[in-house]
Amino acid sequence: MRNIRAAVFASGTGSNFEAIMKAGNLGCDIHLLICDQPGATVLEKAKHYSVPTYVFTAKDFPSKQAYEEQIVKQLHDAGIYWVFLAGYMRILGKTILRAYEGKIINIHPSLLPVFPGKDAIGQAFTAKVAKTGVTVHYVDEGMDTGPIIAQEEVEIFEYDTIDTLKNRIQKVEHDLYPRVIKALVQKNKA
Ligand code: GRF
């Protein structure tokens, strides 16, 4: 029997996409990358791993609903069951959320509900909190607000710079996201 299929949504570098691909053995196949930035580095990574891509430019569509309908069509055509957001810099609208209810997860570089939105690592660093971390959560209509699946703490040290902190957080992300995906896929098969 064919493995369950998943899509990753990403807008930028794609280090999480790469971590997911490298991890392998997830219980599902990453069969599509959705990207809203034609020049994004993640597209080179998709090519390297031979993952088909759907790249779009939001402003070419008359509305958010219109581009999301096209995304849902791409997902359906590719037989996608799970959606993993990995640095996708857009809030999902009703069209995708309804089509994939309970099947979309996201990774965010803070201990949600603290520091949602953009530059979560910078927000934590500037706030001089003792610890921050990484959250994997289900996606709803809000900005980083869906039910939390897993979290891991990252301590902020006196000597940290924004770069050293970012590196440690990314290491945690790259370890945590594939593990959570694997567990989630496994649980839903049982
Ligand atoms: C990650 O920090 C992720 O948590 C956030 O966006 C960033 C994407 O980084 N949602 P990358 O493109 O995977 O390197």
pLDDT tens digits for range 97-137: 999 999 999 999 999 999 999 999 999 999 999 999 999 99
pLDDT tens digits for range 150-173: 999 999 999 999 999 999 999 999
Asked if residue 32 lies in contact with residue 10, where contact means CB atoms within 8 angstroms, the answer is no
Atom of ligand 1 nearest to the CA of 109: 4
C-beta of 87 in contact with ligand 1 (< 6 A): yes
Residue 108 bears catalytic tag: yes
CA dihedral 46, 168, 90, 43 (to 10 degrees): -10
Place of tokens 């809000």: 142
* β-strand partners of 32: 7
Q: List the residue whose alpha carbon is closest to atom 2 of ligand 1.
A: 109
pLDDT band at 190 (very low <50, low <70, confident <90, very high): low
Question: Which residues are CB-contacts of 2 (< 8 A; sequence separation ≥ 6)?
Answer: none
Q: Which of the following is catalytic: 31, 108, 137, 174? A: 108
Give 16 Cα–ligand 1 centroid separation in angstroms: 6
Place of tokens 């034609």: 38
Asked if residue 54 lies in contact with residue 71, where contact means CB atoms within 8 angstroms, the answer is yes
Question: CA of 27: how far to CAs of 20, 32, 96, 181, 190, in Å?
Answer: 12, 15, 23, 9, 12
Atom of ligand 1 nearest to the CA of 121: 2
